[in-house]
Structure 1
Amino acid sequence: MTTIRDRSVDDAAAPLRAAMVRELRDLDGITSEPVAAAVGTVPRHLFAIGEPLEKVYAPDTPLVIKRNDDGLALSSLSAAHIQAVMLEQAGVEPGMRVLEVGSGGYNAALLAELAGASGEVTTVDIDPDIVARARTCLDEAGYERVRVVRADAEHGVPDGAPYDRIIVTAGAFDIPPAWLDQLAGRGRIVVPLRWRGVTRSIAFDRDGDGGALASSSYRLCGFVPMQGIGAHRELVVPIEDGLFLRVDDRSRHFDTGALAAAARTRPLEAWSGAAYDLPDELELFLLTSTPRAAMLHAGRELIDQGRFDASAGRGVPALVRDGGFAYRIRRVNEATGGFESGVLAHGPQAETIAEEYCDLLRRWATGFRRRGAARIRYIPAALAAAGGAQDLASVKPHGTVTVSWA
C-alpha cells in the first residue's frame, strides 16, 4: 500500500517523540532499550488522527477513539506511560508470536517493532469501526505485516496460536479459557484484570504444569472495559444519594439500611501510627486481606458538606461489618515530614471496626511496605474445583484470583 504523508508533520513530531521517550524513562515507564527504541520509532500521531501533536506525545494523556451515544468511551488510545509499562511487563523478544486483545493500532505497531521481522503480531477487536481504523492507521504508518482481526476476543484468535505473548488492552473481569489454551507453554499474558473493585495490569506466567498462572509483576492502571461475551457490569450498592459501595462478588449481602444509618452518625477518628505510603500497594493490601473489604465512593456534595473525607471521593477501601464501616484517611506526620495512616469509622461498633482497620494499616506498614509484595495467582475453575484454590480473593466465571502477601 502506498500512502502520502505530511513530512512537515512527521518532522515536527520527531523531537516530541524523543522527548516523550526521555520523560517515560524518567517516570520508569520505559526501563529497557528495546521498548525505548520501539516508542522512539513508531509515529504515534498517525494513530491519533486530528489531535494536536503536543497532546499526542504527552506521556500520561489517553485519547478517546470512539464513544457511545451516552458519551462513554468505547475505545481509546491508552496513555503512552501505561503502554510502555505493559510492554516492559510483557518482555516481547524478536521472533515471538504475539496476540493483542483490543485494537487501536499504535500498540500493535509497538509490538511489531519488538517482535521484529521474524515475529508475528495479531490484533483483535469486536468493533468493526475500530478494526477498520486500526487497519488504515497501521498501513499508513508502514505496518502492513500486522494482522488485524474482527472477532469477539473471548474466543481469542485460534488460527494464529500458540502465542508467546498475549497483551490485553481492555479492562478484563476474567481470563477466558481460550486465552489460556492459545498461550504457549512458556508464554506470558499481560492483562488489566478487574477484581475487588480495582484494576491492575498483571503479567502472568504459567505456574507449573497444573494450568494456574502466577504474577511476575503488577502495576496500577485503568482501561475501557471489555465488550462482547466477556463484558461485565460491576455491582454498585447504593447507601444513600452520592454514597455507594463498588463490589465484584454478587454473593455478598449488605444491610444498606443499617449502613445508611451509620453514614449519618458522627465518625470516630483513629490513628494507626503507621506510615502512609505507596497508596496503590496499600489499597491492594487492604482489599485483599479481609473478605469484609469493599470500595467506598462518596460524591462531591457529601465531601463539601464535611460528612466524608476527600479520600472517599476517589474511591477508598472500606471495612464493612456490624452495620457500620470504616475507611482510610491520612495526616501529616510532623516528626517525619511524611504521612500517617488513619481511619474514620461510622456505626454502633465504630471503635471495634476502627481498631481492626488500624491493625491492617500497621501490618502493611511493618511487613509489606514496598513494591511487588503481593503474589497474585489465577486458578482456572476446573483446578479450583479440584482443591487448587486457597486464600480466596475473588471467584469469577472462569476461575479464581487469589492474593498472598510475603
Structure 2
Amino acid sequence: MTTTRHSRVGDATSPPHGERNTALVEELRTSGWVRTDRVAGALEAVPRGHFVPPELAAQAYANEVVFTKRDIDGTALSSVSAPWLVAGMLERLAPHEGDRVLEIGSGGWNAALLRHLVGTGGHVTSVDIDPDVVNRAVSALADTSWRDVHVVQGDGRDGYGDDAPYDGIMVTVQASRIERAWLDQLAPGGSLVVPLRVRGMGRLLTFTAENGHWRGGGWEQCGFVRMRGEGSAQDTGATFQVGDGVRLRVHDSPLPEASALTDAALHGRREMWSGVTVGVTERTRPLVDLWLATILDRYGRLLGDTAPSGGDVVPLSGGSSATWTGTTLAYVAMRAVDDSGTRFEYGVAWHGPDTELAEQVTDQLRAWDQQQRGGQGPSLMLYRDQAPSPSTTARVLGRGAPQLVLTWPR
C-alpha cells in the first residue's frame, strides 16, 4: 500500500544558498566528485541546509552524512546523505532535461536536485517507507521551485508503478538485491544507480541497458542506511562473536559453526606474508576485498571495536576479509614495509591448525596482484530473470531472480 503526499502550492521561491553552500560546491569540484557544470549548478541552486532539520543546522554544509533519525538501539534509520556521495550519484545517473526519475529513499534534498536537473518538462517521484521522512520531505519542498516533486509513502522495493516508466532510478538506501519492480519500471535504455551489498560490502553501482540485460560498473565503496520494509529481515546477514569486541559478519555465504570460531580464536595468531606491497594512495583495499569476496566460497568481514580486547584476533581498521574451515579462521592482515608508513604488505593472519587455509588466501592475494591489479575490475551482468549458463569462472551473486553474474577478466 502506498500513500501520496503533495507539497502545498505556494510561491516558487528558492531559499538562499549563501557562502557555506558555495564553499561546499567548490570543495566537491576540487575533490573531483563534481565533474560537470550541470551537477554543480544543481548543487548551487538547491542548498543542502534547507533540507537538514533545524536542530542539526550546524552540520548542514559539512561534507559528511547527517543522521536525522535513529532507532532506540542507536541504529540509523534515515539521513541526509553525504554531499560527495550525492554528487557522485548524480554524475552517474546524469539525468537529462525532460527525464522521468524515481528516487527510492526520500528526505527532500536529493529529490530537489533531481528535479532541478530534469527541468520543468521532467518529473521526479520520491518514495520512502517512513511517514516521518515523507512528511519532512514534503515540508521542505513546499513553497520552493521543486514543490511538484511527487512524494509517496510506500515500500521502495515495489518502486512506484503509477508514474512509470522512468528514464532513471536512483536508490538512496542500502539494497541487498536488485528488485524486479525496478527493472520493470525502467524505460528502454534507462539506467539504475544503486548502493548494493555484495557479500556484505557496500558498493555503488550503475547499471545501463545492454542487449536485453544490464551491465553494472563503478564499484565505489559506500555506506547507506539499510532498506526497511517487507523482506528486510532476510537481508541482515548473520553475526558471530569471535572474542570480546571482535565479530564475524556473514552475508550470502555458508555459515560457520559459532563454537568453531570461538575455539579457533583460542589458538595463537600466526601470520603469512604474500610479498604483495602497495602504497597508501593506491586505495587497493576495496578492490582486494571485492576480489576475495567473489573468489572465496566462504566469506565474511571480521570487524573489531576501536580498541578490541579479543586477544590475538585483531582485524584491520574498517574490517578484514575473512574465511574459515571447521577448525581455523583466517583473515587479511597488513604490515608496514618502510619507516615512512606509506607502503604496506598484504598477508594473512590465522588461528587454528589449518595452515593450508592461510596458504590459499595468500595465493589469492598474489593472484589479485598478478592478474587484476591496475585492471578494469570485474564484469557484472544483471538479468531480469534467469541468466545464461555462467562460465566456470563466473559467480552468481545472491539467490533467485533478478540474477547477478560477476566475472573477473582473465
Amino acid at match of 1:89: R
Whole-angstrom distance in 2 between the partners of 1:366 and 1:47: 47
Is 1:3–1:140's contact at 8 Å kept on the other side of the alignment? Answer: yes
TM-score by length of 1: 0.89
* Higher helix content, 1 or 2: 1
What is the deviation of 1:179?
Answer: 0.7
Uncovered stretches (5+) of structure 1, i.e. residues with no partner:
none
Cα deviation, 1:119-151, whole Å, max 9, x if unaligned, reads 111111111221111111012443112111112
Cα deviation, 1:60-114, whole Å, max 9, x if unaligned, reads x211222223332211111111111111111211111100001110000111111
Matched, 1:25 2:29: yes
Matched, 1:254 2:256: yes
Is 1:281–1:370's contact at 8 Å kept on the other side of the alignment? Answer: no
What is the deviation of 1:223?
Answer: 0.7
Taking a change above 3 Å as real, the CA distance of residues 4 and 163 of structure 1, as seen in their structure-2 partners, is closer
Pairing of 1:231-380 with structure 2 (within 5 A): 231=232, 232-249=235-252, 252-276=254-278, 277-278=282-283, 279-300=285-306, 303-304=308-309, 307-311=312-316, 314-334=318-338, 337-350=342-355, 352-370=356-374, 372-380=376-384
Measured on the aligned residues, the alpha-carbon RMSD in Å equals 2.4
Is 1:154–1:230's contact at 8 Å kept on the other side of the alignment? Answer: no
What is the deviation of 1:54?
Answer: 5.0
Amino acid at match of 1:32: T
SS of the equivalent of 2:18 reads: helix
Amino acid at match of 2:291: F
Amino acid at match of 2:218: S
Is 1:268–1:344's contact at 8 Å kept on the other side of the alignment? Answer: yes
Uncovered stretches (5+) of structure 2, i.e. residues with no partner:
1-8
Whole-angstrom distance in 1 between the partners of 2:119 and 2:294: 39
How many pairs align? 393
Taking a change above 3 Å as real, the CA distance of residues 108 and 282 of structure 1, as seen in their structure-2 partners, is same
- Which ranges of 4 or more aligned residues in structure 1 deviate by more than 6 Å? 3-7
Amino acid at match of 1:271: W
Amino acid at match of 1:295: R
The equivalent residue for 1:225 is 226
Is 1:389–1:402's contact at 8 Å kept on the other side of the alignment? Answer: no
Is 1:342–1:358's contact at 8 Å kept on the other side of the alignment? Answer: yes
SS of the equivalent of 1:135 reads: helix
Is 2:265–2:313's contact at 8 Å kept on the other side of the alignment? Answer: no
Matched, 1:394 2:394: no
Matched, 1:76 2:76: no
Whole-angstrom distance in 2 between the partners of 1:305 and 1:259: 12
SS of the equivalent of 1:383 reads: coil
Whole-angstrom distance in 1 between the partners of 2:168 and 2:310: 49
What is the deviation of 1:318?
Answer: 0.7
TM-score by length of 2: 0.88
Whole-angstrom distance in 1 between the partners of 2:371 and 2:306: 34
What is the deviation of 1:196?
Answer: 0.6
Cα deviation, 1:12-44, whole Å, max 9, x if unaligned, reads x52111111121122221112111111111021
Whole-angstrom distance in 1 between the partners of 2:27 and 2:314: 33
Is 2:174–2:223's contact at 8 Å kept on the other side of the alignment? Answer: yes
Whole-angstrom distance in 2 between the partners of 1:371 and 1:131: 42
Taking a change above 3 Å as real, the CA distance of residues 320 and 264 of structure 1, as seen in their structure-2 partners, is same
Cα deviation, 1:236-295, whole Å, max 9, x if unaligned, reads 233444333212226x13233232221111122111111234221221111112212211
Cα deviation, 1:310-341, whole Å, max 9, x if unaligned, reads 51x52210122352121112122229952211
